[in-house]
Structure 1
Amino acid sequence: MMETPKQPSTRKKFLLWSITTLGTATLLRFIKGETEKPIQPKSNTVKMLTQEGVLVEIDRKHLVAADKNDVKISIDELKEWIKKQS
């Protein structure tokens, strides 16, 4: 009986190489770690919306810290405060 020469499946080889390559790339990414973005220094200004709907920047030194006992504004008061320009 004559044996046929075994030829490895090229599809299996391709899948194994693809999985190995992707696994190695993923593993190296976690080992190397992603480059961390530098932390931006805290800005001295705060953006706030005026009653007219204009976005302005205000220095933090001009803001007064709120007390913990202050009551938050209600949604109805907020809707009344923001007036649409007619």
Structure 2
Amino acid sequence: MLQQVKKSGLRADFKWEHDKKVCCLGLTSLLLLPADELPAEALGRVFKAALDLLVAYKDQVAEAAKEDEAEDDDDGMDGFQTDDEGDGSDKEM
């Protein structure tokens, strides 16, 4: 499931940040197994899969941060405070 991609090149599974995090946690827990219980070939595959998933997660978080920043810039307020960002002076009233 980790290597499956669509024709567009995007992952078929593990699309959401939470899915990637949970899968990475599971894969990294396998790295704690004693060497005699996890063959070297399997260890390499687990390590590579965890690393690929972590890179994809990092890229997804960075992309989400860029989108959030772009949305903040496009709110039309040009740095003016909204009611939610008040300075607390309404508590005195």
- The TM-score, its normalising length taken from structure 1, stands at 0.31
Structure with more contact order per residue of length (Cα contacts < 8 Å, sep ≥ 6): 2
- The TM-score, its normalising length taken from structure 2, stands at 0.29
| Larger helix share, 1 or 2 | 2
| Larger strand share, 1 or 2 | 1
Task: Report which of the two structures shows the higher radius of gyration computed on alpha carbons.
Answer: 1
